[in-house]
């Protein structure tokens, strides 16, 4: 029985000692938590004053919820602006590409170039009609003529073939530029 009572005393002392340590740590944590809560209340009062709210009716949870929604909408607006900027850049690039394409077509359809081409073709056709059909010399024929470009008359059937060939080239040129 004595041993039993000794054990009880030992366990009570042991647990009381441990429990006392726990209570002391818990009291320190509780004081720290109360200090934090007091600082939050002071900050809430400062927020209410800053935003010209009634300090007695100011609800911190409601304010934080509204402020979170506001920040979310600001972020959404920033994303929308970035998307719009990228869209405008893409549109600008497409517009410039379209302008470049139109400019290239204008160069192809340039009236001065077209009239010059027509003059060249008309001159060749006139020379063929007069019987002065010209052809380029092969490299061996050029050597025989001391490297000078010499016009050699050719037969009428070859002239017709040359006219058809020139017409085909002119048609192809007009199709390419379109």
18 inside domain: no
- Residue given tokens 């100011």 in the structure block: 58
Give residue 90's pLDDT band: very low, low, confident or very high (50, 70, 90).
very high
CA distance 41 to 48: 10
Task: Over range 128-137, report the average pLDDT.
Answer: 63
Specify whether 114 is located in the same domain as 101.
Answer: no
Specify whether 79 is located in the same domain as 130.
Answer: no
Q: 171 vs 145, which has greater pLDDT?
A: 171
Specify whether 122 is located in the same domain as 155.
Answer: yes
State the residue range of the domain holding 54.
Answer: 47-108
100 inside domain: yes
Give the tokens for residue 90. 């893409």
Specify whether 71 is located in the same domain as 127.
Answer: no
Domain end position, chosen among 90, 108, 126: 108
147 inside domain: yes
**pTM metric for this prediction:** 0.41
Specify whether 131 is located in the same domain as 159.
Answer: yes
Q: How many CA atoms lie within 13 A of 103 on its CB side?
A: 6
Residue 117 has pLDDT above 80, yes or no: no
Residue 151 has pLDDT above 60, yes or no: no
Q: What's the structural domain count of the chain?
A: 2
Provide the angle, in degrees to the nearest 10, between the axes of the packed helices 111-130 and 156-177: 170
């Amino acid at each position: 029985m004595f041993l039993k009572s000794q054990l009880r005393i030992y366990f009570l002392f042991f647990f009381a000692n441990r429990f006392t340590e726990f209570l002391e740590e818990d009291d320190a944590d509780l004081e720290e938590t109360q200090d934090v809560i007091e600082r939050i209340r002071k900050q809430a009062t400062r927020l209410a004053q800053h935003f010209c709210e009634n300090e007695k009716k100011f609800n911190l949870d409601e304010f934080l919820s509204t402020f979170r929604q506001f920040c979310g909408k600001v972020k959404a607006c920033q994303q929308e602006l970035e998307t719009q900027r990228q869209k405008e850049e893409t549109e600008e690039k497409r517009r410039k590409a379209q302008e470049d394409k139109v400019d290239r077509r204008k160069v192809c359809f340039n009236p001065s170039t077209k009239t010059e081409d027509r003059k060249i073709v008309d001159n060749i056709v006139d020379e063929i009609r007069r019987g002065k059909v010209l052809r380029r010399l092969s490299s061996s024929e050029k050597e025989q003529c001391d490297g000078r470009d010499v016009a050699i008359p050719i037969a009428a059937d070859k002239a017709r073939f040359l006219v058809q060939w020139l017409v085909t080239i002119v048609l192809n040129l007009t199709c390419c530029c379109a």
